[in-house]
A and B are shown apart, each in its own frame.
Chain A
Amino acid sequence: AQKITQTQPGMFVQEKEAVTLDCTYDTSDQSYGLFWYKQPSSGEMIFLIYQGSYDEQNATEGRYSLNFQKARKSANLVISASQLGDSAMYFCAMREIMNRDDKIIFGKGTRLHILP
């Protein structure tokens, strides 16, 4: 079973609109972390935002916010006021720490296209 599911392979959004990228996860751990990364066409991985499982407030970083719904096991990324430079692949990831084991697993990604 997939640990991280991103159901939107691709999205097209008009510039200046807000966009929500979906991510659901599967874990039996109580302690875990959720991440979002951006990968532009140049290929580098850019960290965007982090949410710990015990954090009570949703994480925010500038135009990025993470809509964390623990009971539904979802960690959607919200980008406000989208810009042309937001066009990229976006990956959701989860870090589980169990005993000595410590894995970070990624979803398959969503390709976001911002239209002028």
Chain B
Amino acid sequence: NAGVTQTPKFQVLKTGQSMTLQCAQDMNHEYMSWYRQDPGMGLRLIHYSVGAGITDQGEVPNGYNVSRSTTEDFPLRLLSAAPSQTSVYFCASSSDSYEQYFGPGTRLTVT
């Protein structure tokens, strides 16, 4: 049982480049979410999904797109990377009402 997996672990992008952060879970959880963590800011919700085919914006959605075509996968797309998107990104999943299971995180640097 792998839990929540994220790839890549580290990424360096140039300003303006696009990329997709991958997230997958094997626990059949309906709820999945993406957070970014910046020093002093805690975890801020970017986008979330309550099931396949359904996505919604969180607190800081600008500059990011998501889709949820399957229960297992919830990729996060950076359309045109900016230095302000330098952060650690966490993907998480959960069942109906209990704890979220977090992936190990992706450390992204945009130069």
Q: Would you give the shortest CB distance from A5 to chain B, in whole angstroms? A: 11
What is the total number of residues of chain B having a CB less than 8 Å from a CB of chain A? 27
List, sorted by A's number, 13 A–B pairs whose CB atoms are closer than 8 Å.
Answer: A33-B97, A35-B99, A45-B92, A47-B100, A91-B42, A97-B97, A101-B50, A101-B56, A103-B48, A104-B92, A106-B42, A106-B43, A109-B42
Check B105 for interface membership: any CB of A closer than 8 A: yes
Task: State the majority secondary structure of interface residues on A.
Answer: strand
Q: A44 to B97, Cβ gap below 8 A? A: no
Complex: chain A residue closest to B104, CB-CB = A44
Indicate whether A103 sits within 8 Å of B45 (C-beta atoms), given known contacts A50-B98, A95-B97. yes
**Interface mask (A96-108 → B, CB under 8 Å = 1, otherwise 0):** 0100111111111
The 4 nearest A-B residue pairs measured at CB: A108-B42, A45-B102, A106-B43, A47-B99
Residues of B near A103 (CB, < 8 A) are 45, 48, 56, 58
What is the total number of residues of chain A having a CB less than 8 Å from a CB of chain B? 24
Find residues 72-93 in chain B having any chain A CB closer than 8 Å to their own CB: 88, 90, 92
Find residues 48-75 in chain B having any chain A CB closer than 8 Å to their own CB: 48, 50, 54, 56, 58-59
